[in-house]
């Protein structure tokens, strides 16, 4: 069974649910599974990423090949 067929089967199952509590549990489960990775990062990690983005925005970057030479 491919992914598209599985999705269709899942939608059919959801459409047959008549219990509001079950629907709410399913929504909570799916929401928990689709968290943004950003939410799982530490403050330090988020700050480092923001710092890197700021440096790129200011044009502060090096070529990947230069980076490889630097760490070799």
| pLDDT in the model for residue 56 | 92
**pTM given for the model:** 0.46
| pLDDT in the model for residue 31 | 81
pLDDT tens series, the chain, 72 aa: 799 999 999 999 999 999 999 999 999 888 877 677 888 899 999 999 999 999 999 999 888 999 899 898
Who's near 23: CB < 8 A, 6+ residues apart? 14, 17
| Biggest CA pair distance of the chain | 62
For the chain, the structural domain boundaries read: 1-34, 36-72
Residue reference for tokens 């943004």: 36
| pLDDT in the model for residue 43 | 95
Q: Which two tokens stand for residue 37?
A: 């990775």
């Amino acid at each position: 069974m491919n992914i598209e067929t599985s999705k269709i089967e899942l939608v059919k199952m959801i459409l047959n649910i008549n219990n509001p509590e079950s629907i709410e549990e399913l929504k909570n489960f799916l929401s928990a599974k689709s968290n943004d990775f950003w939410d799982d990062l530490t403050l330090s990690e988020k700050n480092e990423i923001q710092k890197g983005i700021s440096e790129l925005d200011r044009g502060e970057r090096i070529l990947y090949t230069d980076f490889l030479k630097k760490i070799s």
